[in-house]
Amino acid sequence: MTKIHLLAVGAHPDDVELGCGGTLLKHASMGYSIGIVDLTQGELGTNGSIELRQKEAGHAAAVLGLAVRENLKLQDGFFQHTNEEKLKLVRALRKYQPDVVLGNAYYDRHPDHGRACQLIFEACFLSGLPKVETEADGKKQAPWRPKALYHYIQSLRLKPDFIVDISDFWEQRMKAIHCYSSQFLNSSAGGADTYISNPSFLQMTEGRAADFGHSIGVRYGEGFTVRRVLGIDNLMNIVS
């Protein structure tokens, strides 16, 4: 078992980098261990292949300084909320015992993102139930429920419940995103034009990060939504 303080879960390789890569980098700089679980291999992507996406994800993991990266190999485009699929994520949660989980948006342009959001929510709850039994490496796993689940914002412009200042980590965040050259930087390599391969897509992500940052008086920010009201124990630590 590798203890992870902050675990980000994404439907596809690159979801996490785009949605909360700066937040992961910031917490790693503070000494917290960070990791990613990808639900699928992104095999339905117009450009690239399973092998190439796996290689790109490995490069991005090195840029982010991840302690772990695991792919559950659910079926891209077709995964649902079956018991088997939820238990795969439960096993990962119990293996890494994250204090905080970051997951896909409630709803988004890509239908996998909304489905992943619900799957992550259910798995985080089920992972804490002692009567939900799982094994890893032939050993029974102990129940574990993260203290918090937050959802990063993706293609659709959702109103954030809170924003993390990532100004000092913007360049490193973009370096991790650029590791996925098959998806975002493929125009010179003869790749097909897609929604995310168009240069305007990354321009949009930067504009949104700048907008979120402006909202809290910094250069760049990443926004998150929550399912329940956040509790604050020190008003002096709130940035406005």
- In one-letter notation, the amino acid at residue 107 is Y
Give the pLDDT of residue 202.
92
- The mean pLDDT of 201-224, rounded to a whole number, is 96
Give the pLDDT of residue 88.
98
Residues 6+ apart with CB under 8 A from 158: 105, 106, 223, 225
Give the pLDDT of residue 193.
85
Question: How many residues does the structure list for the chain?
Answer: 240
Q: Which residue has the tokens 């990962």?
A: 92
- The mean pLDDT of 179-195, rounded to a whole number, is 78
Checking if the pLDDT of 186 tops 80, the result is no
Do 63 and 179 touch, CB atoms closer than 8 A? Answer: yes
Give the pLDDT of residue 240.
65
Query: What is the percent of the chain where pLDDT is above 90?
Result: 84
Q: How confident is the model at residue 199 (pLDDT cuts 50, 70, 90)?
A: confident
Q: Report CA-CA distances (Å) from 131 to 88, 123, 124, 134.
A: 16, 14, 14, 9
> pLDDT tens, 6-41?
999 999 999 999 999 999 999 999 999 999 999 999
Mean confidence (pLDDT) of the chain: 94
> pLDDT tens, 76-116?
999 999 999 999 999 999 999 999 999 999 999 999 999 99
Look at the domain 6-228 and name its fold: Rossmann fold (3.40.50)
Checking if the pLDDT of 185 tops 90, the result is no
- The mean pLDDT of 121-129, rounded to a whole number, is 98
DSSP run (H or E) holding 16: helix 15-29
Residue ranges of domains in the chain: 6-228
- The mean pLDDT of 130-153, rounded to a whole number, is 96
Give the pLDDT of residue 216.
95
Give the pLDDT of residue 237.
82
Checking if the pLDDT of 192 tops 90, the result is no
